[in-house]
Structure 1
Amino acid sequence: PSGQLSLMDSDENEQGLPPVPKKLHAKNRIKLVQRLKEVAPNSVVLFQGGHLINHYNTDTVYQFRQESYFLWLFGVREPGFFGLVEVNTGSSLLFIPRLPEEYATWMGPIPTPDDVTEKYGVTETYYVDQIDEILAKRKPENVLLLKGLNTDSGLEINPAEFPNRHGFSVNSAILYPIISECRVIKSPEEIELISNACAISCSAHKKVMQSISKCQFEYQVESLFMHTCYFTGGSRTTAYTNNCSSGCNCSILHYGDAGAPNSKEIFAGDMCLFDMGASHSGYASDITISFPVTGKFTSNQKIVYEAVLCARNAVINSAKPGVSWVDMHVLANKVMLQKLTEAGLLVGEVDAMIEAGLSGILQPHGLGHLLGIDVHDVGGYLPNTPPRPKQSYLKNLRTARILEEGIVLTVEPGCYFINALLDKAFADQNLSKFLNKSKIDEFRGFGGVRIEDVVVITNTGCAVLSPLPRSVEEIEQFMEQQIMD
């Protein structure tokens, strides 16, 4: 899209990749330095980029993905780099591996430090084996290293390792919460890149919808989506494992892994739930569509779909700065449960259902998550933000933040008929009293519905970055038109 190039400093390079948005990463470094000046002046920040990972003990490597914090700061695409930022001056340095001569034979020309300085718009570039020398010359009071816990994965990021680490005053406590908070509020340039990834994904999702009658198996849907993203949008990878579920598989929340590799045959009576998002220019998208294979909703499909759609619409109409994400989750649950009650699947008061935890039976996951360079982006739970709620129906929320302008997140309510959870609910008197068993049993094997959009919080509300046919009428009209074409 033409809008993307406005962020860049040069035309596309000879490999056809979008150029590195040097101005964006420079702004990110300035943002970090401004925060750090208040708490750690006279310091430098040292980061370690990602490295190649082999397939076990073979000489085949996984496709490289840059470490996310390093990408946010420097935009570097290659492995083996280190980066340094001076807090007082804002100067930025990259350290590149000193590659052997034979590298040029197998991998192409070896970049010089000057090449790297120009490509990434940093102040200077040196070799990795010069880190100690450069640090000694600059004599920082502290070397700040990145160490902290990702609250989505439960995994820690390891601080940079360099030879003379013990020769400097090192602090690994200050940096993580500050840089993570910096990543939460997206700049206009970042929002444009995310919008671009969403546009690529939406085009591919529409292609899937118009071609579903030609897809006999779920993996053909996955193939078509990935091909469309790459062929028409230049998106080489998706942001996460593709979930191309149909029929009963739609109730498997993380379907599509190695044990269930999108392999089921698609049948005419199935609902489809396709959760796929392109990654482009380092930024993710995360979009889910649900629709009937035939292009026409049955009465039961319409009941579930519209319950989820009403929940989605309620959140999009209510989300704005100052609103609690916890309240948005509860709102979505209440709207969905009310619609299911009106359809005869549930009985009783919706507020009582919420307090009893019934919403967690039908929608075990949270309403959505922060999105950016990572599909589950950092910043969900940080110091000085609301803690993870303890209630059973809220414990899976990936954040409890108060919304602010510039936050990008997903809105993804869902309704699933998961046998293990339904059996648990029917065995619990506190839950079973809300369930119309004969009606619920009609939906065993139905699977589920999820509608997932990417939104950005604006100064007055929120804007959807993933425009797709969403209402029953829009979906049926779109698919009828495409089938006729």
Structure 2
Amino acid sequence: MFKIGANTMSVPMSLFADNRKRLCNKLRTTDVPEHSIVLLQGGQQLQQDSTDRDITFRQESFFQWCFGVSEPDCYGAIDVTSGRCVLFIPKLPVEYRVWMGEIFPPSHFQAKYRVDDVMFVDDVSTVIPDVLRSMEARVILTLERGLISDREGLGIAGSICSSFKMDTESLQPVISECRVIKSKGEIDIIRYVSRVSSEAHKEIMRRIRPGWMEYQAESLFRHLVQTHGGGRHVFYDCVASSGPRCAIMNYGGATCPNDHVIEDGTLCLFDMSGEYCCYGSDITNTFPANGKFTEDQKAIYHIVLEANMAVKAAMRPGGWF
């Protein structure tokens, strides 16, 4: 179960088992042969250039969808025919516990993530191919991009490509379609993080005053979603724009990092969302910094609001726009 704290949402590992089942069921309707193996690589722990500082880890999205694993540098294999899945975890020296805490055995991860088997890996180029052979793999399905699908790569990529038939085309469209159609459990997580993010936006609207820096609003949002929702990450770069900067599509990035004063009489456009268990939403709102619209601002606001409400009223399952 994924849970950050007492007041945060519990996400059962059965959600990811169901995702794997959906994926296998969908793949079995395609032309992939029996005992095709889906092989995915999780996100890697990266360090900031020329330092010993780790960049805060966030799991690779496809891997997260299939396994719900929080740790970096992992791999996962799924037998499309049987649904059996194997998780590969890096084998860390016992001395690492000084920096990383307790070093757990494979049984810990098997129970934590509800997978069929867990293998420690000290040499991915030999251990993973050996396990794939034991699974009687006929074809290895990988994503179109990534280390595993790189036939010119070294290590695991070179070893697998030379030992097995590789298919880098069949998996991507199927798993992408599966991820588009959310399960009830996934929708519940998105509702949770949307509610947490919405409350954070409302609190910012209550507190903000002309004279604030834009980054102070961003900082408050990040504080609120982590304090009240357990969201260590935001879903995308926070856009805390004001005045004419509201028209800059990618405001909030490295070239314009929410670094202007919010002036009296201007509008704030805040596009920010938290993230929980790698799920999030997209929330944008616009409001006057001083709490009162000018007549022109009010007119444009109501035009957009009416368009928004009209789209909501017309939305139907299966509809096209």
TM-score, structure 2 as length reference? 0.91
Aligned to 2:76: 83
Aligned to 2:108: 115
What is the SS of the residue equivalent to 2:260? coil
- 1:248 and 2:244 equivalent? yes
Looking at structure 2, the residues matched to 91 and 198 of structure 1 have their Cα atoms a distance apart, in angstroms, of: 33
What is the SS of the residue equivalent to 1:110? coil
16 and 80 in structure 1: CA distance in 2 versus 1, 3 angstrom threshold: farther
Aligned to 1:279: 275
Letter in structure 1 aligned against 2:271: D
Letter in structure 2 aligned against 1:320: R
**Which runs of structure 2 are paired with 1:75-474 in the superposition (5 Å)?**
75-128=68-121, 129=123, 130-147=127-144, 156-159=145-148, 161-162=156-157, 164-165=159-160, 166-213=162-209, 216-324=212-320, 327=321
1:159, CA displacement in angstroms? 3.2
Cα deviations by residue, 1:315-358 (Å, 9 ceiling, x for unpaired) = 1111212322xx3xxxxxxxxxxxxxxxxxxxxxxxxxxxxxxx
16 and 269 in structure 1: CA distance in 2 versus 1, 3 angstrom threshold: closer
CA contact (8 A) 2:48 2:55 kept: yes
Q: What fraction of aligned residue pairs are identical, expressed as a percent? A: 41
252 and 214 in structure 1: CA distance in 2 versus 1, 3 angstrom threshold: closer
Letter in structure 2 aligned against 1:194: I
Cα deviations by residue, 1:6-32 (Å, 9 ceiling, x for unpaired) = xx5x8x578997655201000000000
**Which runs of structure 2 are paired with 1:32-47 in the superposition (5 Å)?**
32-38=23-29, 39-40=31-32, 41-47=34-40
Letter in structure 2 aligned against 1:295: G
1:45, CA displacement in angstroms? 1.0
CA contact (8 A) 1:235 1:279 kept: yes
Looking at structure 1, the residues matched to 261 and 4 of structure 2 have their Cα atoms a distance apart, in angstroms, of: 42
Gaps of 5+ in 1: 1-7, 148-155, 328-485
Cα deviations by residue, 1:178-237 (Å, 9 ceiling, x for unpaired) = 111111100000000000110010000000000012762111111111111111111111
Looking at structure 2, the residues matched to 101 and 117 of structure 1 have their Cα atoms a distance apart, in angstroms, of: 19
Looking at structure 1, the residues matched to 187 and 11 of structure 2 have their Cα atoms a distance apart, in angstroms, of: 16
What is the SS of the residue equivalent to 1:303? helix
290 and 175 in structure 1: CA distance in 2 versus 1, 3 angstrom threshold: same
Letter in structure 2 aligned against 1:51: Q
Gaps of 5+ in 2: 150-155
138 and 199 in structure 1: CA distance in 2 versus 1, 3 angstrom threshold: same
96 and 163 in structure 1: CA distance in 2 versus 1, 3 angstrom threshold: farther
CA contact (8 A) 2:210 2:289 kept: no
298 and 279 in structure 1: CA distance in 2 versus 1, 3 angstrom threshold: same
Looking at structure 2, the residues matched to 112 and 194 of structure 1 have their Cα atoms a distance apart, in angstroms, of: 32
What is the SS of the residue equivalent to 1:238? coil
What is the SS of the residue equivalent to 1:102? helix
44 and 15 in structure 1: CA distance in 2 versus 1, 3 angstrom threshold: farther
Looking at structure 1, the residues matched to 188 and 84 of structure 2 have their Cα atoms a distance apart, in angstroms, of: 26
What is the SS of the residue equivalent to 1:226? helix
TM-score, structure 1 as length reference? 0.61
What is the SS of the residue equivalent to 2:209? helix
Letter in structure 1 aligned against 2:116: T
What is the SS of the residue equivalent to 2:219? helix
Q: Structure 1: which 4+ aligned runs deviate by more than 6 Å?
A: 13-17
205 and 191 in structure 1: CA distance in 2 versus 1, 3 angstrom threshold: same
Looking at structure 1, the residues matched to 71 and 106 of structure 2 have their Cα atoms a distance apart, in angstroms, of: 14
**Equivalent of 1:25 in 16, 20, 34:** 16
CA RMSD of aligned residues (A): 1.9
Cα deviations by residue, 1:131-156 (Å, 9 ceiling, x for unpaired) = 12211222221111111xxxxxxxx4
What is the SS of the residue equivalent to 1:290? strand
What is the SS of the residue equivalent to 1:274? strand
1:127, CA displacement in angstroms? 2.1
Letter in structure 1 aligned against 2:277: S
Looking at structure 2, the residues matched to 20 and 193 of structure 1 have their Cα atoms a distance apart, in angstroms, of: 8
233 and 199 in structure 1: CA distance in 2 versus 1, 3 angstrom threshold: same
Looking at structure 1, the residues matched to 233 and 56 of structure 2 have their Cα atoms a distance apart, in angstroms, of: 10
Letter in structure 2 aligned against 1:259: T
CA contact (8 A) 2:148 2:157 kept: no
Structure 1 stretch displaced more, 246-255 or 180-189? 246-255
Letter in structure 2 aligned against 1:37: R
Number of residue pairs aligned between Structure 1 and Structure 2: 308
